[in-house]
Structure 1
Amino acid sequence: MDPIDRIADAAAARAFRRLVRHLRHRDDAQNVDLMGLAGFCRNCLSDWVGEAAGIDKAAAREAIYGMPYDRWKTEHQAEATPEQLQRMADSVAKNAG
Structure 2
Amino acid sequence: MQHLDDATRTELEAAAFRRLLHHLDEHKEVQNIDLMILADFCRNCLSKWLVAAADERGADLDYDAAREYVYGMPYAEWKAKYQQDATPEQTAAFEARQAEKREQKDA
State the TM bucket, normalised to the shorter chain.
Answer: 0.7 to 0.9
Cα distance in 1 between the residues matched to 2:17 and 2:72: 14
Identity of aligned residues (%): 48
Structure 1 partner of 2:19: 18
* Distance change (3 Å), C-alpha of 1:92 and 1:9: farther
Cα distance in 1 between the residues matched to 2:66 and 2:49: 9
Shift of 1:90: 2.6
Cα distance in 2 between the residues matched to 1:92 and 1:47: 19
Shift of 1:53: 1.9
Structure 2 partner of 1:75: 81
* RMSD value, Cα: 1.9
1:40 aligned counterpart, secondary structure: coil
| Residues 1:86 and 2:72 are matched in the alignment | no
Cα distance in 2 between the residues matched to 1:89 and 1:39: 12
Shift of 1:81: 1.3
For the pair shown, which has the larger CA radius of gyration, 1 or 2?
2
Letter in 1 for 2:73: M
TM-score by length of 1: 0.85
CA offsets, 1:8-55, max 9 Å, x none? Answer: 101010001000110011000010111111111101111101111231
Can you give the 5+ residue segments of structure 1 that lack an aligned partner in the other structure? none
Structure 1 partner of 2:44: 43
TM-score by length of 2: 0.78
Can you give the 5+ residue segments of structure 2 that lack an aligned partner in the other structure? 56-60
